[in-house]
Structure 1
């Protein structure tokens, strides 16, 4: 007995839908347009955020730290015309990406540093001191 082709199509669409949802919620599956792949590492005294941004210049990248979140935005402008000729094929177009990363603990905002090398952005966010300087509170 032959299967209904509409059932097969429905199964394929369900599978694709699950992959997209997984990509949005867990960082796996299909990539979400405008999203940036990042790693966030806890290096004891600091958080290190690494983001893949190939093809961007440092002037194209904007970092903002606000209310316990690091916001990364990058926009690559496209040239209207090729210098010295014309395009035969054009796939590298303007692209904007953004990502908001919620930090688990407060960071020392005045000590944050960032570097960009070979298409990889690295942001170092030192944790705010305070754990060792905590005051014991007696209960009466």
Structure 2
């Protein structure tokens, strides 16, 4: 019989996977779409509720998504008592290619996917500045 801890073996396998294939299991998978006038970020966050998710925009270009969920259950059956706890968290920061307008941002969470819409900063008349010649 082996004295190996099976959970330690699983942890070691995940570490090897992360090192060899660049898979970070604590990060949030994201897609960033450029729709011309806005960036749309889709982030996979299955198993969370909308109140577990925090979205922040820093310096008009850095979007940080973090999620933290914990729950506790307790069951009693005769002289046996069971108390289980579960906690999961994930986060991701992405740098957008252009500045966005923080006033027009919006976020929605549905079916485990967070969608954040970030309108680009409007630069009207960006044809340069006319300099009169005397």
Q: What is the match of residue 72 of structure 1?
A: 65
- The TM-score, its normalising length taken from structure 1, stands at 0.69
**Aligned equivalents of 1:61 and 1:43: distance in 2?**
24
Corresponding position: 1:20 with 2:15: no
**Count of paired positions:** 115
Task: Give secondary structure in 2 for the equivalent of 1:107.
Answer: coil
Relative to structure 1, the CA distance from residue 82 to residue 39 in structure 2 (aligned partners, 3 Å threshold; closer, same or farther) is farther
Shift in Å, 1:94: 0.7
**Aligned equivalents of 1:93 and 1:83: distance in 2?**
18
2:95 to 98, 102, 106: 102
Superposition RMSD in Å: 3.1
Q: What is the match of residue 34 of structure 1?
A: 26
Q: After TM superposition, where is structure 1 displaced by more than 3 Å over at least 4 residues in a row?
A: 137-140
Q: What is the match of residue 10 of structure 1?
A: none
Shift in Å, 1:75: 0.3
Corresponding position: 1:111 with 2:110: no
- The TM-score, its normalising length taken from structure 2, stands at 0.72
**Aligned equivalents of 1:82 and 1:42: distance in 2?**
49
Relative to structure 1, the CA distance from residue 113 to residue 83 in structure 2 (aligned partners, 3 Å threshold; closer, same or farther) is farther
Question: 1 or 2, which has the higher strand percentage?
Answer: 2
Unaligned runs of 5+ in 1: 1-15, 24-29
Corresponding position: 1:123 with 2:116: yes
**Aligned equivalents of 2:76 and 2:36: distance in 1?**
49
**Aligned equivalents of 2:49 and 2:70: distance in 1?**
10
**Aligned equivalents of 1:103 and 1:127: distance in 2?**
10
User: What do residues 17-73 of structure 1 show as CA deviations (whole Å, max 9, x unaligned)?
Assistant: 7x63652xxxxxx3x132100001111111000001011011100000001100001
Relative to structure 1, the CA distance from residue 117 to residue 139 in structure 2 (aligned partners, 3 Å threshold; closer, same or farther) is same
